[in-house]
Structures are given as structure tokens and as C-alpha cells.
Structure 1
Amino acid sequence: MCGRYGTRWGTTLTIRVDCNQAYSTHEAIRVIKAMERYDVELVEQPTVWWDFKALATVAKAVDTPIMPHESIYQISDVKALIDLGAVGVLGLKMYRSGGGITNARRLLDAAKLMGIPCLIHDDVELGVSLAAATHFIAAHYRDLKFKAELSGCPEWIADDVVTASPKIEGGYAEVPEGYGLGVELDEDKIERYSTGTIVCG
């Protein structure tokens, strides 16, 4: 697949590969080394999420930066992975950083001190999370070496809980203006889709 895209698009296309934990340690090393002639920018989570040592072994055996994903559930996971040498690129998600924007900022600062490049990526998310990501990127773009991966695919979700989701066109995301994150909640949809209430305080 990498060869097909590399041959067709050449240097105009950046190739990133998400293995989704598909390989054993030895398989991952073999496959990634075979892909490296196509100038793959990074490889995401080639081995099973819970085996940090396997991920580190792969990261040290290949030239392509490895980006853990499923292995990261909390800040302590990031530290453990970095200590083992398993992180070539740190991928940050607003909802997966163990504390939203605040902890994403802490992780970005820590990675910067250790010389580890970062990128922001997401899943198929609602407008609130997408808005948070665009604001974070705009505020910290100087510290983000890699281009972001934002879904911006409203056709993939049945509905949203904001009146207007951030726009993504031509490979660029528009940072919403206005109070807070710049998006307005649709109160009717919030009520319609709510399954429960948590009272804080």
C-alpha cells in the first residue's frame, strides 16, 4: 500500500501508518523496515498496547518514529514509555491526556523539555472536542512539529450537540471565535441525547 501511494503521489503526499496493534515485535520491525524506503513519516502503535517493552524494542530497531496511542491512558504511561525509549513522536488527544487541555499542555511541555516532537490527533469527535483541539493547536503551533490529524467528518456522526462545528476545508481548520471554545451548545440536543446527570460540588 505504501508503495502504491508513494509511486502515485511521490513527495506531495505525507504517509503515516496506523498499525492498530497488528504485529508481534519481530513482524513490526520487518514490516516497518520494508516501508521505510517510501519515507513514512511515522508509525502508530505497531504492537499490542500493554507491552511497553515490545514497543520500545521496535522503536530502537527502526528509523521511522514510533507513536504510541492505545498504550497511553494516563500521564504515567507517557513517562514509562519515554523512559523505555518507546516514543519517537508523542500524539496528544484532548480526551485521552488524562485531563483535557490542562494535562495536554503539561505533556506537551514535558515532551518539549525531553526533545520529543508532538502532534495533535483525534477520533471522530463532536464539535466541542474538535473546537478544543483547534484552540490548542493555534495556541501551541510553534511546539508542534507534525501536522495535526483532525477528523472534521460530520458525515461520520449522526448528529452533533453544537449549533455549528468548527470548519475544516482544504486541509486547514478554522479556530472558532467567541466565548470559551467558540462553539455554542444546542440545548435541545443536549436534553435529547442526555442519558444521565452528574452533579458536581
Structure 2
Amino acid sequence: SVWTPEDALEIATLEAADLISIYVAKSGGLFPARQVAHVAQAAGISCNVNGSVEFGVGNAASLHLIASAQNIDLPALIPVTNIEGREQVEVVNKFYLDDIIREPFDYDDGYLRIPEGPGLGIEIDEEKLHKYCVS
């Protein structure tokens, strides 16, 4: 995986990879992750976006990044979390039993749908946020 735009530029200059894997959290957020994708696109390198232990907020950010760049055209691994009290999905993040977002992600035929609405298209469940807060 590549964390920074500078890393992506070095990979491109050295012709060291045929694809770049982007992690939004490791890149420092959506903007730097998007910069990685831009550098890769300029070099003609395809990308994918992956996650590891993100909650729904991080997953939503990853989905929006995927939708924002033409060269993010390879399959992604995004560990969708379950929401307590809701129908459990089959492909989930094994680290969490619940999430802090109000609604689960929609998916169809193995594809997650990009959340729509203001911001990342998700709402935070304030009660759960306080419930899981560690002081």
C-alpha cells in the first residue's frame, strides 16, 4: 500500500508497481488519499481502496473516494460493520459487533452502494457514540 502522494510518485518514477492500494486512514484522510489517486492516475497506474478496522464513518469515506477517481478501478476490500439490532450481513468486519452509524450500508450483488446525502451520506447515532466512548 501507498500512504502519501510522495510515495506514489516514487513508485511511479521507479515503475515499481502495476497497481497501488490506498487506505484512507493511513493516507491521513480523504484529501491526501485523493492526492495519491491523482498521482497514480497521472502515471497510468490503477488503484484499489482497502480498509482494515474502520467503523462506518471510515467505510463511507472509502466508498466516496472510490467514486471520485477513474483509476480506482480494481476490486476493494472494505470491512462492512454490522449494526446491533439489525439484520446481520454476511460480509462483515470481524472485529466489531456494532457500529456508530444509524443505518447499515446498502449492498447489492456484492457491491456496496455509495451513501447519499450531506457529507459522507451517513448519520452518527449519538447514543451509541456516548455508549462506546471511553473516558
- Which position in structure 2 is the counterpart of 1:148? 76
Residues 110 and 77 (structure 1 numbering): CA distance in 2 closer, same or farther, change over 3 Å?
Answer: closer
CA contact (8 A) 2:3 2:36 kept: no
CA distance in structure 1 between the partners assigned to 2:6 and 2:38 by the alignment: 15
CA distance in structure 2 between the partners assigned to 1:186 and 1:78 by the alignment: 36
Gaps of 5+ in 2: 83-91
**How many residues end up aligned between the 2 structures?**
124
* TM-score, L = length of structure 2: 0.77
The one-letter amino acid paired with 1:103 is P
Gaps of 5+ in 1: 1-68, 197-201
CA distance in structure 2 between the partners assigned to 1:74 and 1:167 by the alignment: 30
Query: Shift in Å at residue 105 of structure 1?
Result: 1.0
Runs of 4+ in 1 over 6 A off after TM superposition: none
User: How much is the aligned-residue C-alpha RMSD, in angstroms?
Assistant: 2.1
CA contact (8 A) 2:9 2:39 kept: no
Select the structure that is richer in helix: 1
For residue 24 of structure 2, give the secondary structure of its aligned residue in structure 1.
Answer: coil
Deviations 1:79-124 (A, max 9, x none): 4444444322111111111x21101111111111112111111114
- Within a 5 Å distance, the mapping from 1:1-201 to structure 2 comes to 69=1, 72-97=2-27, 99-140=28-69, 142-154=70-82, 155=92, 156=94, 157-195=96-134
**Identical-residue share of aligned pairs (%):** 30
Q: Which structure exhibits the higher relative contact order, with contacts defined as CA atoms closer than 8 Å and separated by 6 or more residues?
A: 2
Query: Shift in Å at residue 128 of structure 1?
Result: 0.6
